[in-house]
A and B are shown apart, each in its own frame.
Chain A
Amino acid sequence: MRAFAALYAALDETTRTSEKVAAIRAYLAAVPPEDAAWAVYFLIGRKPRQAVSTRKLRTWVSEAAGVSEWLFDECHEAVGDLAETAALLLPPPTRTTTLPLHRWVADRLLPLAGKDEAAQKTDLRAAWDELDRGERLVFHKLITGAFRVGVSQRLVIAALAELGELAPATVAHRLMGAWQPSAAQYRSLVAAESDQPTTSRPYPFLLAHPLEGDPAELGPRDAWQAEWKFDGIRAQLVRRGGQLFVWSRGEELIGERFPELAPIAGRLPEGTVLDGEILPWKDGDILSFAELQRRIGRKICRARSSPRSPSPSSPSTCSRRPAATSASAPSASAGRSSSNCWPRWSATSCACRPSSTPPPGSSSASCARTAAPATSRA
């Protein structure tokens, strides 16, 4: 916990990208792999669910610090950050802790959520007596589900890539999908060859960036192709091991919300990955995004139970990327392009990519005309 709190402070103290990457790399190299796994998990923005409400934290900290709640609020107003306010107000610890990060997470943090108020309070008091200000700050952020640090996933990937002497695209791919932090998981993250099961794993979603400079900066026009940018839900369909996995942009499995997609699985060759937009489609027309929104909140849909809902399908214009069948393929693909895994860039109204580097197996028909927005989200 101490080393992770020191890393948090170091990342908080510098605005230089190179120093942030160096700090992450030094931390990951120095700690046991179990700790490194959890650190990566937190740094890329995954977090355990909130275990303690901010209201309870405020009450218990006020009590432990011997300040009235109005005074806590005055302090919070001056500091601007609840976890930090709490860390500053608490009396100094009487002990120190050498418990490593993964043990703090497994033994002290994750069990908190399932406990009753009295037990939570007892646990917090015990933790406060062992943690210094910097450690408390991180601890409070983790238990209130507010952990954020000023690094982008790109920087974490850069640090991991340097450590494992891997292409960043390979690391990015290994971080995708659902995984549980563990020593084995971390080792395979930075290993030359990964033996982690990859059946369901999607590829990194390449995102659209607004072009800030002059379009001429993009180089010759015939090096690009434009694609329609439809207003649907970005998703990857992964067909592997005889199964179909539908991943959202937020790396959530959303297949159950779109049962209409299941029959597609049988028609796709094994090892195919489609990256595109899920669109509601009826009588040859694309329907409004609102039709899709109904599905987003649901956990499970049955195709026949929603007769008014149109049947979603992947439009022909989505980027088709029959996937690589081995884990090393993304880096091989990246080797051919100057950007991440696949060169996919979206302008505001259309998606473009350099046509000189078509993804393997994709339709190479390039679209030179400027596409108009298909629909616009209200």
Chain B
Amino acid sequence: MRDPLVELTERGLYCRAGDFYIDPWQPVDRAIVTHAHGDHAVAECEHYLTAAPGRGLLALRVGEGADIQPLAYGDPIVHHGVGVSLHPAGHILGSAQVRIEHQGEVWVVSGDYKLSPDPTCAPFESVRCHCFISESTFGLPIFRWAPPAATMQDVAAWWRTNQQSGRTSLLLCYALGKAQRLLAGVDPEIGPIYVHGAVERMNAAYRAAGVRLLPAPPVLEAARGADFERALILAPPSAQGTPWTRRFKRPVRGFASGWMQIRGTRRRKVVDRGFVLSDHADWNELLAAIAGTGAERVFLTHGYAQAMARHLRERGLDAHPLATRFVGEAGGEELAASPASSDMPERPDEDPAAASEGPDSPEDDLPDAEGEPA
């Protein structure tokens, strides 16, 4: 039997035949980066190869001075006799699957991906292969997303309701990918949209790459006396509870993430409303993507990898989990690391804390320990 084309090493996924890494978690000589999220893109590698639309985002992540070679989707290159090409993964701007071909054998490393439509990036492209290394962040059948358009309507309805009671809609979302998707998907006629500085940096990179996004000024640049009561504010989850949020009077907090599918996660995040919106494939999309590759061997890198692998084995595939250090969707780390216990208590009926709560809940005065997040 041949050596595997891609193997798991201490530094990350490694292609020995081509002597390069894919999404290494330690600095290496040559790294192919599937996308610019922190758990896939490490700084201080000597050379980077990434899909052309994501070049700017990767430079933001690993530094402008880094040696980053952009490669157009579908363009093949040969390195040490190994054929490499990048194909859209539909996850965020510039996200790519890595197709590796050597001596007639084809492997594909998916990175993170989704199949549902997203106006801010190229759609997922199915690539035939012998072996598919797939993410499985949401690899349980409880994760099945509603069409994103329906979720966008829910966000719009929530925003309007908050406006009617004169309260700011503070929507927490990952600054890279989710924020831009929301900006592109929500009805701009409802009111003004402002963003946190971390989101603005990503928006600028998207605009520079030619993605059309609505105007959404940073909160700090908004005019004094800006009408935040009518506004939708997009901010990363780390902004919650910081003094930065103090400028909004009694904000209603939402959180957009696939993890919001579970009521318990939303409660632990202490937000008022959860929107199920993910840049990761849900259970059905994972199964469809895996079937679409025609692969007989499947490795699952992160998320519910054990369960997904067992399910695929029951269906006759040679499927195994692969212990990478990818974490998947931000906001669910604690859940992915230690799934909730089987008997998580519900809120008790006669919760003394709830009973003592006045109409003005103290949760509006969260401690300002963290300061403004970077």
* A68–B140 alpha-carbon span in the complex (Å): 12
A78 touches B262 (CB 8 A): yes
* A119–B104 alpha-carbon span in the complex (Å): 57
List the one stretch of A84-92, A191-199, A260-268, A290-298 in contact with chain B. A84-92
Asked if A81 is an interface residue, CB under 8 A from chain B, the answer is yes
* Cβ 8 A contact of A17, one of B141, B348, B354: B354
B307 touches A74 (CB 8 A): yes
- Among A70, A81, A149, the one with the most B-chain Cβ atoms within 10 Å of its Cβ is A81
Asked if B358 is an interface residue, CB under 8 A from chain A, the answer is yes
Q: Which residues of chain B are within 8 angstroms of A148 by Cβ–Cβ distance? A: 346-349
Give chain B interface residues in 117-166, CB to chain A under 8 Å: 140-142, 144
B264 touches A79 (CB 8 A): yes
A152 touches B355 (CB 8 A): yes
Asked if B340 is an interface residue, CB under 8 A from chain A, the answer is yes
Q: Which residues of chain A are within 8 angstroms of B363 by Cβ–Cβ distance? A: 15
B263 touches A84 (CB 8 A): yes
Asked if B311 is an interface residue, CB under 8 A from chain A, the answer is yes
A15 touches B142 (CB 8 A): no
Asked if B343 is an interface residue, CB under 8 A from chain A, the answer is yes
B342 touches A76 (CB 8 A): yes
Give chain A interface residues in 24-48, CB to chain B under 8 Å: 45
Q: Which residues of chain B are within 8 angstroms of A269 by Cβ–Cβ distance? A: none
The residue on A at minimum CB distance from B344 is A80
Asked if B10 is an interface residue, CB under 8 A from chain A, the answer is no
Give chain A interface residues in 53-100, CB to chain B under 8 Å: 65, 67-68, 70-71, 74-81, 84-85, 88-89
Asked if B350 is an interface residue, CB under 8 A from chain A, the answer is yes
When each residue 356-367 of chain B gets 1 if its CB lies under 8 Å from chain A and 0 otherwise, what string results? 011101010000
Asked if A49 is an interface residue, CB under 8 A from chain B, the answer is no
Q: Which residues of chain B are within 8 angstroms of A89 by Cβ–Cβ distance? A: 141-142
* A150–B352 alpha-carbon span in the complex (Å): 11
Give chain B interface residues in 263-312, CB to chain A under 8 Å: 263-264, 266, 270, 272-273, 304, 307, 310-311
Question: Which secondary structure dominates where chain B touches chain A?
Answer: loop
* A154–B349 alpha-carbon span in the complex (Å): 10
Asked if A252 is an interface residue, CB under 8 A from chain B, the answer is no
B354 touches A81 (CB 8 A): no
A77 touches B354 (CB 8 A): no
Give chain B interface residues in 308-352, CB to chain A under 8 Å: 310-311, 314, 335, 339-344, 346-351
Asked if A18 is an interface residue, CB under 8 A from chain B, the answer is yes
A88 touches B264 (CB 8 A): no
Q: Which residues of chain A are within 8 angstroms of B141 by Cβ–Cβ distance? A: 65, 67, 71, 75, 88-89
Asked if B261 is an interface residue, CB under 8 A from chain A, the answer is yes
A327 to chain B minimum Cβ distance, whole angstroms, is 26
* Cβ 8 A contact of A14, one of B144, B272, B346: B272
* A13–B270 alpha-carbon span in the complex (Å): 10
Q: Which residues of chain B are within 8 angstroms of A151 by Cβ–Cβ distance? A: 349, 354
A15 touches B140 (CB 8 A): no
* Cβ 8 A contact of B304, one of A78, A80, A84, A150: A78
B351 to chain A minimum Cβ distance, whole angstroms, is 7
In the A-B complex, the 10 residue pairs with the smallest Cβ-Cβ separation, listed nearest first, are A80-B344, A150-B347, A18-B359, A88-B142, A80-B340, A74-B307, A75-B142, A17-B357, A80-B264, A78-B339
